[in-house]
Amino acid sequence: MTLARCVPALTVVLCVLPGCRGPLDARIDAVVAERSREVYGATPRSIAGTGGFEGGYGEGARSPDPATAFTPSTTNPDPSSLRYTPAQEAEDVASKLTRYAEAGGESEDADALVITFERALQQAQRTGRDFLSAEESYLLAAIRLLIERHNWSPRFFNDTSVELSGNSDDGVYDHALSIINTLRVTQRLPFGGSVEASYIARATDELRETATQGYTSSNDLVLSGNVPLLRGFGTVARESRIQAERDLVYAARDFERFRRTLLVDIASDYFNLLASRDRITNQLRDLDAQRRRNQETIEKVRAGRLDPYQRDITANAVRQSEASLANLRESYILQLERFKIRLGLDPDTRIRIAELEFDIAPPSIDPDLAASLALEFRLDLQNERDRLADTERDVANARNELLPDLDLAASVGTGSDPDNVTGGFTLDPQDLDYSVSMNLGLPLDRTQERLGLRSSLIARDRSRRDYEESRDLVVVDARTAVRQIDLARFRLELAEDQIEINERGLEALRLRDDADPQSILDRQNALLDARNSRDQNRTDLRNAILEYLLVTGQLRVSPDGTFLPLPGMDPVAVPVSPDQGDDQIVPDEPLLGDDGDDDAEGDDAEPVS
């Protein structure tokens, strides 16, 4: 592929369409060519030689600051400067995978960060990026409210203006310097309008008459107000304050809901890590059993008690188990690294996941009762319900916009004595100026307002439907959560029974001298599947319990992010299932290190068919 093909297709089309080229096309080509030289390292042939860009930003427009530079630097070396090294066929890939597992997996070092269940929840609230973003959204809502509250408090302003003016008469100029300082305070009224008190000081100096004391000054104190009587009167005037106050409540609910959801997500990741580690342990156990089966088969083939092809069956089973172990280790490393990123830790941080010490006993609750609790406690549903009330208020405000404009304005003020040019200020009740006015604006054109009312009605109806849908989904989710708990419990019991059945069947086959290796292999695989199913169903049950608490609004999180048990929710110790028989002994091997493959097939083992 040529370098020219890297240019966006739309630009190429613009450059080659017949009959459409002109000065503007040339300028577009020039800009694209300039940027392409910087990004691709060379100018694509399809746009080369189109000339310069008139009035363009040359090298002089570049800035040493990367944040303000017109053209940020791009690292995109030419293909000739890159190198690709093919892997050697004789390379020991298994050893490389073991090194990857040792470098990216859990650390057994004494200084490794031990992540317990509680530590994971606390860490997510300290350094988790999702939590920090949600917290900032909450703080931004609080800042918006503070700004709105400030707008409704008395606000002080001081404006100073200086003006130099002059006029001429037959070439002779008279100059005047005027300084005006206005100190005012404004206050918005809760029912609409505002009042303002201002103190105005003026000073004027005729510059050509400074020697004859041409300086004059005056002072005024004015109290004014403007109040709407129809349109804009009432609660509609406080709409911005009302909405800001309510938005902070919504943000608080959203933030608390997020904290609870984050706990469930982090707990789910933690439980899944434990389940993945259990699968690795089960696979190690299976690999050890497969190797012993293979060695037994080799001995029986040598003794002439089995056909040689039986050895190939068990040897293939060993290789398949080794491949499955490698896949499980890689998946676990990926889960672990993503979990560290989720907690806000550096990916290179060496951690060790601690075992879970306690579980929560499954609840005994009726699905309908769970639905009623969810309808009462769910914070996100309360937000939708209150936002529906906001749309009702929006409709009322839109109706207010259809009313005529009837505004009342009044002002009263007093100033310095006009005969006293030095600006002496006296407040004399008998020397007051006042004005009262009323303005009526008939609603002759309210097309936009009527359309706005229609839009508000549609938004209200849509919000009502959304709330009803959310309410129904909450009911469905609560009932489903209860059923999922019972389903996980049932599947866990079945998996434990299957383990027992397969262990007994495998032991019976081992006691038979003429047992078919394929039959033993099938039973061993069934036992492995049962163990994995048991561990996964235990994880599903833990997740289902937390999900039930979340969807019913009963989950509670402490300020440091840890789980708060409810009254009657006594933690129970995590059950440890004892393994029986030789096939259940876990080999003394690291979960993510060397799998101990020391050529269990023997020196004279035949190749795998």
* Domain extents in the chain: 3-59, 94-149+250-403+460-609, 150-243+404-442
Residues forming a β-bridge with 352: 114
Pick the closest to residue 538 from 359, 366, 367, 364 (CA basis): 359
Mean pLDDT of the chain: 83
Of 179, 224, 219, the residue nearest 200 (C-alpha): 219
User: How far is the first Cα of the chain from the last one, in angstroms, to the nearest whole number?
Assistant: 43
Whether pLDDT at 43 is above 90 = no
Q: What is the DSSP string of 336-358?
A: HHHHHHHTT--TT--EEEPPP-E
Looking at residue 44, its pLDDT comes to 46
Q: How far apart are CA 295 and CA 278, in angstroms?
A: 26
Using DSSP, state whether 201 is helix, strand or coil.
strand
The pLDDT-based confidence of 595 (bands split at 50, 70, 90) is low
pLDDT in tens, 79-101: 888 888 887 776 677 777 777 77
Q: In sequence order, what are the residues at sequence separation of 6 or more whose Cβ sits closer than 8 angstroms to the Cβ of residue 188? A: 151, 152, 194, 237
Distance CA 401, CA 385 (A): 25
Q: Under a CB-based contact definition with an 8 Å cutoff, are residues 121 and 263 in contact?
A: yes
CATH topology of domain 94-149+250-403+460-609: Outer membrane efflux proteins (OEP) (1.20.1600)
Q: Mean of the pLDDT values across residues 441-460?
A: 94
H or E element that contains 108: none
86-100, 205-219, 375-389, 416-430, range with greatest mean pLDDT: 375-389
488 has pLDDT over 90: yes
Mean pLDDT lowest among 16-25, 440-449, 467-476: 16-25
Give residues with Cβ within 8 angstroms of 511, minimum separation 6: none
pLDDT in tens, 426-438: 666 677 888 999 9
**Digit-coded pLDDT (tens) for 383-404:** 999 999 999 999 999 999 999 9
Flag whether pLDDT at 39 surpasses 60: yes
Structure tokens at 552: 């019913």
Give, as one character, the DSSP assignment of residue 579.
-
Phi, psi (rounded to 5 degrees) for 67: -75, -25
pLDDT category of residue 307 using cuts at 50, 70 and 90: confident
Helices (H), 552-578: none
pLDDT of residue 584 exceeding 50: no
* CA atoms within a 13 Å half-sphere pointing along the CA-CB vector of 452: 13
Q: Which residue has the tokens 């100018």?
A: 43
Task: Please name which of 234, 476, 282 lies closest in space to residue 378, comparing C-alpha atoms.
Answer: 476
Is the distance from CB of 344 to CB of 129 less than 8 angstroms?
A: yes
> Percent of the chain beyond pLDDT 90?
54
CB 298 within 8 A of CB 311: yes
- What is the rounded CA–CA span in Å between residue 10 and residue 6? 11
- Are 200 and 220 in contact by the 8 Å Cβ rule? The answer is yes
Prediction pTM value: 0.82
Distance CA 34, CA 24 (A): 15
